Amino acid sequence: MRLSERQLAEFEVEGYLFLPEVFSPAEVGVLVGEVPGIFAQEREEVWREKDGKAVRTAFAAHTYNEAFRRLGRHPRLVEPVRQLLDGPVYMHQFKVNGKEAFDGDVWQWHQDYGTWSRDDLMPEARAMNVAVFLDPVTAFNGALMFIPRSHKGGVFEAGHDQLTTSYPLWTLDKATVTRLAEQGGIVAPTGPAGSMLVFHCNLVHASPGNISPWRRTIAYLSLCHVDNHIRRFKRPEWIAHRDFTPLESLADDCLLELAREAAVAE
């Protein structure tokens, strides 16, 4: 899948693209069927909320689950990022973020590259996020919020918040967020499962807590140009990957092929 000239221009200005229904219900079903098994695992990659029960994020699911391994090399995700970054990319981070019904906590206002620069010594902001909705995302279940055009401002000063949630995060202060929002507004793309977001690693974003009765699960790929790989290995490898091999895309029907293989095995 390649982005059009219009989409490339929109991304350059706004810092993100929302692409509805990129994946079919059948493809989403393959992934959603694997989530309960992943979230049930007691392993260090599965990070829980402060209650110790609800899953906040499952890191590196592509290393221990075949469906998500295939998603991590899916051409509909990898090819647009290669196009935007103008070259080969590797997987810097992979996670399945669960915002459980009633219990999903906030993600504070932050920039992903701010963390990657401070913690991992990623040299430049030549990296991108791709998010795939595994559930419908609505105004009620913790939609991702962006400040459009905030990626143009570089890396903003941030503090290391280790108290608000179970996961430590480099977060922006209220004055910075207010100033940026007054300039660019705030958007919260919503849509059906299978929709996709591509956003710049410097785009300021957050998400509120989910107090609705509907879960909100999103798979995230953070892809980085291979020349821009991280230089510090302070964080665990399952959070900040150290395999800088360029990703090779799989066939476009790789998720459906997995479903067919499973059906034959039965």
Q: Coil, helix or strand for 95?
A: strand
Could you report the per-residue pLDDT of 40-93, keeping only the tens digit for each? 999 999 999 999 999 999 999 999 999 999 999 999 999 999 999 999 999 999
User: pLDDT-derived band of residue 264, with 50, 70 and 90 as boundaries?
Assistant: confident
> Which domains occur in the chain, in start order?
5-265 (2.60.120.620)
Backbone angles phi, psi at 25, to 5 degrees: -55, -35
Q: Which residues pair with 160 in a beta bridge?
A: 170
Nearest Cα neighbor of 81 from 152, 2, 195 is 2
CA 158 vs. chain centroid, Å, equals 20
Which of 158-167, 192-201, 251-260 is predicted least confidently? Answer: 158-167
CB 140 within 8 A of CB 214: yes
Q: Coil, helix or strand for 135?
A: coil
Question: Residue range 241-253: average pLDDT?
Answer: 97
pTM, rounded to two decimals: 0.95
For residue 115, what are the contacts with CB-CB under 8 A and spacing of at least 6?
169, 170
Show the tokens assigned to 163. 């108290």
Amino acid at 102: F
Q: What is the CA radius of gyration of the chain?
A: 17
Q: At what angle do helices 25-32 and 254-265 cross, to 10 degrees?
A: 60
CB 223 within 8 A of CB 85: yes
Question: Residue range 7-14: average pLDDT?
Answer: 97
Provide the percentage of residues in the chain whose pLDDT is more than 90.
93
Query: DSSP characters for 121-134?
Result: ---SS-EEEEEEES
Rounded Cα distance between 61 and 81, Å, is 20
Please determine, for residue 261, whether its predicted confidence score (pLDDT) is greater than 90. Answer: no
Show the tokens assigned to 18. 């929302």
Rounded Cα distance between 28 and 26, Å, is 5
Q: Coil, helix or strand for 259?
A: helix
Which of 114-128, 155-169, 226-240 is predicted least confidently? Answer: 155-169
CB 95 within 8 A of CB 59: yes
